[in-house]
Amino acid sequence: MKRRVDSFIEEEVIRQAKRLAAEEGRSFSDVIHDALVSHLKTKVPHQEKSMKAYKLFCEQPMRLSKRQLKIMEADTCSE
């Protein structure tokens, strides 16, 4: 189900998105939707890895690998 969303976006970003929509024969809404979906796909897997590392750390802190610890540190420091 689609819903209307109000948001503030820089004018230049809107111009570029409208230009892309026109060039590709798509709607402005579709361009914005696809950009958001693409962005979320890059973020969600990282968050899932971070949660797994956090859970393992809480259950068995000595079994956490250096790579998993770095993932947790990156999430903690970025917020």
Structure tokens at 13: 């970003």
61 has pLDDT over 80: no
Mean pLDDT value of segment 21-40 = 93
54 has pLDDT over 90: no
**In the chain, where the domains are located:** 11-78
Phi, psi (deg, nearest 5) at residue 42: -80, -25
Three-state secondary structure string covering 55-79: HHHHHCHHHCCHHHHHHHHHHHHHC
26 has pLDDT over 80: yes
3-state secondary structure of 7: coil
**Residue 77: band (very low, low, confident or very high) from pLDDT cuts 50, 70, 90:** low
Indicate the DSSP class of residue 25: T
Output the pTM of the full model.
0.54
Residue 64 burial (10 A CB sphere; 0-12, 13-18, 19+)? middle
pLDDT at 14: 95
